[in-house]
Amino acid sequence: MADEVKKRVFSGVQPTGKVTLGNYLGAIRNWTPLQQQYDCLFCVVDLHSLTVEQVPAELRKNTFELTALYIACGLDPARSTLFIQSHVHEHAELAWILDTVTYVGELGRMTQFKDKSRKHADNINMGLMNYPVLMASDILLYQAELVPVGKDQVQHVELTRDIAQRFNARYSDTFAVPQCLLSKAGASIKSLQDPTAKMSKSDPNENAVITLTDDADAVRRKLRRAVTDSDTSANCVRHSADKPGVSNLLNIYSLCSGVSVEQAERTFEGKGYGVFKDAVADAVISVLQPIQAEQKRLLADKAYIESVLRQGAEQASHIAQKTLAKVYRKVGLVPKIR
């Protein structure tokens, strides 16, 4: 009996700034179990990062560090395809074709485009507007059926679905129409200084964000400064809509320690925020230190990282070439004369 064909999953992270605890708990950690069930491709989306001006040397360094981090967090190159977006030229080529079936009004309505335009008013470039089309290309190029994303990226996947369905209707069935794969836990880790906003690597306040490279002292310092409230009652450590800062710390503690939020509330009943924050710090540090040690070990073996990326690009290109050839034929482009 033939093996059952696994559904395909695609996702990626930009190699900009430092990966946050929110990125890890909300995305990367949740990718690891997917490797058992699905055919997974995980990409370092370096082309996306160019929508904001980058320091070239830092971008290259960050790309290698993110690859090592993927592996340190549990992504297995023997089970998943790990590669750099720019190493597969079909991403950019398909994006141009998809541009021709995407409407300006759709892109102008993207929440992320509006937000980034406000933050980078001096650099509102077409790449920033076309970001969702390149993301659609990333997904559709591999006929991915599932896309693990945070809530802030759902709108982009919905646009990808619209683009796929529009192309299929115009040129006949070509693309799989993907669905979001939302994590039930960790999808909305919040800023330590503004628990109404998500933890973001672009946050200018370093005390708002825990990064995966923060040492133990930095983690403890940031968590001791984390926003809570003035409640001094015996059950001040509780998960509640009117206590967003405390609720955020409880979520972090739960995800890092492996206990439920309800268990954590019972553990810290009658204890103050100082004791609670130190316990959260201990839980976070216990998660980060093994990852940091493994990432350091991997980065010392550049040849291994390069071999993973080389193999990943070859595997990804094999799929991408087939999809792009089909698309070119559907839209009427003449195949390359050999």
Q: What's the pLDDT tens digit per position in 42-51? A: 999 999 999 8
**Residue 201 falls inside a structural domain:** no
41 and 166 share one domain: yes
**Residue 193 falls inside a structural domain:** no
Q: Which of 7, 18, 201, 330 is catalytic?
A: 201
178 and 215 share one domain: no
Tell me how far apart the alpha carbons of residues 200 and 119 are, in angstroms, rounded to a whole number. 13
**Residue 124 falls inside a structural domain:** yes
Residue type, 101: V
* CATH number for the domain harbouring residue 21: 3.40.50.620
Q: Which of 190, 198, 222, 243 is catalytic?
A: 198
25: nearest Cα among 204, 209, 202:
209
The separation between the first and the last C-alpha atoms of the chain, rounded to the nearest angstrom, is 39
Residue/partner pairs of 103-112 with CB below 8 Å, 24 or more apart:
106/159, 106/162, 107/132, 107/133, 110/155, 110/156, 110/159, 111/152, 111/155, 112/152, 112/155, 112/156
Tell me how far apart the alpha carbons of residues 211 and 17 are, in angstroms, rounded to a whole number. 9
**Residue 194 falls inside a structural domain:** no
**Residue 190 falls inside a structural domain:** no
DSSP H stretches of helix in the chain: 21-23, 29-31, 34-37, 46-49, 56-72, 90-99, 104-108, 111-119, 126-140, 154-171, 216-224, 244-257, 261-267, 273-299, 302-331
Number of domains comprising the chain: 2
195: nearest Cα among 238, 132, 162, 241:
241
**Residue 2 falls inside a structural domain:** no
**Residue 91 falls inside a structural domain:** yes
What is the span of the domain harbouring residue 282?
A: 206-296
pTM: 0.91
**Residue 200 falls inside a structural domain:** no
pLDDT at 5: 84
Residue type, 178: P
Structure tokens at 88: 């597969």
59 and 134 share one domain: yes
* CATH number for the domain harbouring residue 225: 1.10.240.10
Tell me how far apart the alpha carbons of residues 132 and 141 are, in angstroms, rounded to a whole number. 14
149 and 251 share one domain: no
The packing angle between helices 244-257 and 273-299, to 10°, is: 50
Backbone φ, ψ for residue 40 (5° rounding): -105, 135
292 and 311 share one domain: no
173 and 306 share one domain: yes
The length of the chain, given as a count of residues: 338
306 and 290 share one domain: no
35 and 145 share one domain: yes
Q: Which of 6, 7, 18, 116 is catalytic?
A: 116
Tell me how far apart the alpha carbons of residues 35 and 197 are, in angstroms, rounded to a whole number. 30
159 and 233 share one domain: no
* 201 a catalytic residue: yes
Q: Specify whether the CB–CB gap between 41 and 316 falls below 8 A.
A: yes
pLDDT < 50: residue spans in the chain: 1-2
292 and 306 share one domain: no
* 336 a catalytic residue: no
Residue with tokens 């509330």: 265
pLDDT at 76: 97
245 and 155 share one domain: no
* 18 a catalytic residue: no
32 and 163 share one domain: yes
pLDDT tens digits for range 316-331: 999 999 999 999 999 9
